[in-house]
């Protein structure tokens, strides 16, 4: 196969992989992973770069000397102090050229056939005393196609280097080789022991047959083969021969991209668990609201029963008092002219009915007002208790599931939880069902205009509504009885009048029962709609996150399968 055909196939595969990486960037950004999206963007840019052979290790582990020996000329500085403070990318150009890249990267160009199709990258030490060295090395590793870990042949046990190896080998799945440098300083026994130990450490990390080069830059000045440099050059040439470095580069990039996708899948699974917990919490909230509605309904039933009992007792007393007025003795005690005149003369039955009716209405209003106030207080203490319970649980959930900043989905979730907590707190802020509210003022309000306020206002409107229902019914009954009496005449009509009175009072009791049922139910429904609306942002956020997560997981699964199936060979 010719080089042109190799390059043509490579370009086609590179374009395909670039498309997958572009979708990965969009997916990560859309799923609230900006840092991972930036890494994916780096991988996308990396696909167009030469094959990158990255040398890493501790400060003074001989990285720079190894690179100089490998290239056969002094390209990087070698000094007793940590002299490599930036990433150096060494590539091939016809004319040697040293040009500045960024503040963290220096690009060096030299004419060397070893660099055909690849670039060698010298990095700061992983244990560098300069704080940003490890940071920039970790940022650069995702772009690497082959990583050469350098250790001193005298001591290959550096903790920081092996921790960094774990990041490279496990997190990024890079091709890794090892070099034991400064071999000229170690005894044969030390080389045997340390090479064996290096293999053990590598195998413990999943590399069953690690590639290890024993090198000495000093020895290689006179004999590249004896110094181990020629063996390392051969390894590099083997990787780049017949386009192998093309496939290696695409494969390394694919593995890095797949790692990001798998990591995203794990993150989305965590988010799914968090969402499931929130959905269960939303179910508990709805159940608690339903339980609170049922408890309030029972309190309302007690209130209605007490009002009906007060009405029945006082209407019975009212009926007995008026019946006494229609006895023969009662009538003789009044002016016959005034008593039997059809009009509404002073001292007549209509006037007496008005007096008795006013007393009946006044006593009933006073008693019902007390009953309604107590009943409303019980209802709203119950509602407040449930609301406070829900608020406490919401605050605990907010604290126990606080997410790291920068996660768009969790950040929105935390904002919604904060908003819901504040909305519920505002409903409870006044501190008591009837505190500081004048009944007359509230009774003149449009209840719909007050529904945005605290439970104190709702409770007062509730009590006033109960009292007004009784007053409306009582006033209608008395007016109707006045009309009946005004149309009546002589003593012998007394049975008809009393029968009509009993019928009217009984009908009033039934009307009052229906009116109270309707008003109490309507008021409770409005109160619990108001309370449920305070939690609505939480419910809506769960639905929105559910849809977003479903879309993210579907795209993540599809892209993971695509990257697993992609083959650069």
pLDDT at residue 275 tops 70? yes
Q: pLDDT category, 437, cuts 50, 70, 90?
A: very low
Q: Sign of the CA dihedral 46, 47, 50, 52?
A: positive
| pLDDT tens-digit series, residues 412-422 | 777 888 888 88
Q: Which of 121-130, 424-433, 503-512 has the lowest mean pLDDT?
A: 424-433
Give the closest residue to 260 by CA, choosing from 37, 423, 506: 37
Of residues 260 and 76, the one with the higher pLDDT is 260
Q: What backbone torsions phi and psi does residue 179 show, to the nearest 5 degrees?
A: -135, 125
Of residues 411 and 467, the one with the higher pLDDT is 467
- Burial of 525 from C-beta contacts in 10 A (0-12 / 13-18 / 19+): exposed
Q: Are 409 and 548 in contact (CB under 8 A)?
A: yes
Residue 155 forms beta bridges with which residues?
152
CA distance 472 to 90: 95
Domains of the chain are 50-227 (3.40.50.300), 286-548 (no CATH)
3-state secondary structure of 18: helix
CA distance 27 to 299: 53
With 0.95 as the threshold, say if the pTM is over it.
no
Q: Are 2 and 557 in contact (CB under 8 A)?
A: no
3-state secondary structure of 33: coil
Name the region of 216 (left: φ>0; alpha: ψ -120 to 50; beta: rest).
Answer: beta
Average pLDDT taken over every residue of the chain: 76
| pLDDT tens-digit series, residues 378-421 | 777 788 788 888 888 887 777 766 554 445 566 677 788 888 88
| pLDDT tens-digit series, residues 491-536 | 556 777 778 778 888 887 888 788 788 878 887 888 788 788 888 8
| pLDDT tens-digit series, residues 288-340 | 889 888 988 888 888 888 888 888 888 888 888 877 776 655 554 544 444 44
Q: How far is CA 440 from the centre of its chain?
A: 45
Torsion of CA 312, 315, 319, 320, to 10 degrees: 70
DSSP helix, strand, coil percent of the chain (3-state; round to 5):
70, 10, 20
Beta-carbon neighbour count of residue 462 at 10 Å?
A: 30
Q: Which of 141-150, 205-214, 252-261, 457-466 has the lowest mean pLDDT?
A: 457-466
DSSP code for 155: B
Give the CA distances from residue 489 to residues 320, 331, 336, 369, in Å, rounded to whole numbers and listed in that order.
Answer: 20, 12, 12, 37
pLDDT at residue 258 tops 90? yes
């Amino acid at each position: 196969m010719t080089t042109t055909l190799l390059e043509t196939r490579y370009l086609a595969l590179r374009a395909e992989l670039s498309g997958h990486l572009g979708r990965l960037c969009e997916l990560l950004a859309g799923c609230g992973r900006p840092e991972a999206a930036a890494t994916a963007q780096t991988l996308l840019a990396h696909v167009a770069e030469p094959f990158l052979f990255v040398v890493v290790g501790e400060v003074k582990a001989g990285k720079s000397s190894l690179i100089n020996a490998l290239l056969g000329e002094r390209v990087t500085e070698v000094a007793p102090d940590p002299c490599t403070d930036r990433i150096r990318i060494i590539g091939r150009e016809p004319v040697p050229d040293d040009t500045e890249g960024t503040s963290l990267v220096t690009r060096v160009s030299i004419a060397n056939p070893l660099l055909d199709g690849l670039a060698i990258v010298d990095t700061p030490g992983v244990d560098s005393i300069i704080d940003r060295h490890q940071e920039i090395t970790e940022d650069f590793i995702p772009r690497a196609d082959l990583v050469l870990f350098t250790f001193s042949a005298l001591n290959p046990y550096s903790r920081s280097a092996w921790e960094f190896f774990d990041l490279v080998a496990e997190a990024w799945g890079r091709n890794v080789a090892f070099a034991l440098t400064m071999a000229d300083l170690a005894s044969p026994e030390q080389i045997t022991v340390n090479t064996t130990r290096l293999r053990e450490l590598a195998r413990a990390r999943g590399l069953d047959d690690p590639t290890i080069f024993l090198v000495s830059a000093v020895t290689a000045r006179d004999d590249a083969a004896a110094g181990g440099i020629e063996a390392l050059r051969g390894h590099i040439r083997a990787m780049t021969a017949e386009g192998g470095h093309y496939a290696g580069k695409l494969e390394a990039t694919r593995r890095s991209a797949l790692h990001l996708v798998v990591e995203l899948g794990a993150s989305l699974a965590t988010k799914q668990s968090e969402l499931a917990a929130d959905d269960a919490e939303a179910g508990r909230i709805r159940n608690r609201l339903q339980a609170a509605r049922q408890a309030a309904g029972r309190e309302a039933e007690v209130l209605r029963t007490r009002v009906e009992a007060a009405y029945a007792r006082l209407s019975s007393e009212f009926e007995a008092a008026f019946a006494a007025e229609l006895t023969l003795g009662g009538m003789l005690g009044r002016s016959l002219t005034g008593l039997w005149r059809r009009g509404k003369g002073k001292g007549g039955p209509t006037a007496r009915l008005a007096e008795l009716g006013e007393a009946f209405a006044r006593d009933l209003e006073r008693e019902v007002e007390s009953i309604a106030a107590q009943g409303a207080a019980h209802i709203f203490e119950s509602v407040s208790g449930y609301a406070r319970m829900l608020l406490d649980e919401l605050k605990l959930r907010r604290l126990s599931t606080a997410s790291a900043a920068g996660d768009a989905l969790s950040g929105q979730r935390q904002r919604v939880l904060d908003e819901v907590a504040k909305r519920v707190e505002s409903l409870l802020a006044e501190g008591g069902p009837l505190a500081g509210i004048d009944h007359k003022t509230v009774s003149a309000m449009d209840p719909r205009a007050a529904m945005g306020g605290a439970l104190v206002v709702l409770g007062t409107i509730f009590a006033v509504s109960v009292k007004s229902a009784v007053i409306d019914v009582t006033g209608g009954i008395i007016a109707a009885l006045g009309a009946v009496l005004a149309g009546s005449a002589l003593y012998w009509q007394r049975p008809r009048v009393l029968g009509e009175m009993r019928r009217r009072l009984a009908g009033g009791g039934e009307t009052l029962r229906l009116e109270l049922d309707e008003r109490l139910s309507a008021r409770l429904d409005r109160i619990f709609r108001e309370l449920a609306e305070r939690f609505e942002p939480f419910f809506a956020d769960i639905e929105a996150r559910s849809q977003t997560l479903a879309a993210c997981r579907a795209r993540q699964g599809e892209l993971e399968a695509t990257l697993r199936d992609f083959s650069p060979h």
